[in-house]
Amino acid sequence: RNLVAAGAFQFPFAGLFDDSDTAVGVPGNNEEVLNGLKSSTENALNRGISRLDVELPAAFLLGVEGDKKGVRLLSDKLAESDQAKVDTADREVARTFVEMLQPIAQGLCVIFRNQRLADKAQEVWKLADEEGSILAFPRKPKGAFSEEVMEGEKFNEMIAGAGCQCLVVVAPRLRQLRLIKGLGDVMEDQMGIILLNARISGKGREAEKIPQKFRKALLANYEATYHLRFVERKNALIFGKMGKDGKRRWALAQQREVLGGRTMTDEVKQMDEEPSPGEVRKALAEYDAREKDLGSALIDIVDKDKMR
């Protein structure tokens, strides 16, 4: 684990964020996700963790750019395939971290994959200079391997020139992750780095276009402080969150739509470690069996009541 000695977060974060810290507390809507993001981030920063990995479902809107109270946490394959909605969701979670990290705003930098996304963030946020800096990764160089090496050096110089003490990296892909790893190797504990929706964590998960060896190198340094993703089964999700003791606790849950458009969260199982795909399938099968037995018991009670 990479710990901050003194450089990245010179600020007492206790009490700045949400104080709730339940064992797992599987969220059911955007407000509950926001509360969990805040408490888990406070827990990580107060323990001096300088490398954070945060993941939310693709295209899930937190509502920070508009009045979207009570947005339900349900799988939406159509939205996930809409890049504009995915970009908006990524930007919203970044904005959340900008607001949370205002105590270190002078050293706060938020970097997007390209200039278009960075410009859109500035247009929507209207971020003042004293609130932080919005940056964009440079374009990929067209040339030999030596130029790619120089790209890393130039990138590090760009970040240093921006005065970044804490770098929030928004939805990076392989090329951006390589640059970030190089930067982290150089800066060590003198810079905090937070990955948002990099989608590198998850047992048995195929990280899109990210070589396994490189992924393992990233996971060795980044803590999954808040992790929320849907699994293969519709509206079933894995949730992990860092507590005040610095330990991550995990839960497998099934989200259900009920009358009135509300969402009901059925907690399938709590775990101290993230479950593997096989463990997920087994836990869901056991959950289905319990639900079936409960349904049969209810039918039996109704039938006996009718006979009276």
The pairing of strands 236-242 and 248-257 is: antiparallel
| Residue-wise pLDDT tens digits, 94-141 | 999 999 999 888 899 999 999 999 999 999 999 999 999 999 999 887
Q: Do residue 73 and residue 212 come from a single domain?
A: yes
Q: Would residue 2 count as lying in a domain?
A: no
Q: Would residue 4 count as lying in a domain?
A: no
Instruction: Quote the CA–CA distance of 280 and 205 in Å, as a whole number.
Output: 12
Range of the domain at 286: 276-308
Q: Would residue 239 count as lying in a domain?
A: yes
Q: Rounded to a whole number, what is the largest CA-CA distance in the chain?
A: 86
Q: Do residue 254 and residue 217 come from a single domain?
A: yes
What pTM does this model have?
0.86
Q: Do residue 235 and residue 307 come from a single domain?
A: no
Q: Do residue 172 and residue 308 come from a single domain?
A: no
Structural domain total, the chain? 2
Least confident of 11-25, 134-148, 159-173: 11-25
Instruction: Quote the CA–CA distance of 24 and 36 in Å, as a whole number.
Output: 9
| Residue-wise pLDDT tens digits, 189-245 | 899 999 999 999 988 887 667 899 999 999 999 999 999 999 989 899 999 999 999
Q: Would residue 3 count as lying in a domain?
A: no
Q: Is the pLDDT of residue 8 over 60?
A: no
CATH number for the domain harbouring residue 76: 3.40.50
Q: Would residue 22 count as lying in a domain?
A: no
Q: Do residue 68 and residue 153 come from a single domain?
A: yes
Q: Do residue 300 and residue 261 come from a single domain?
A: no
Q: Would residue 12 count as lying in a domain?
A: no
pLDDT computed for residue 172 by the predictor: 97
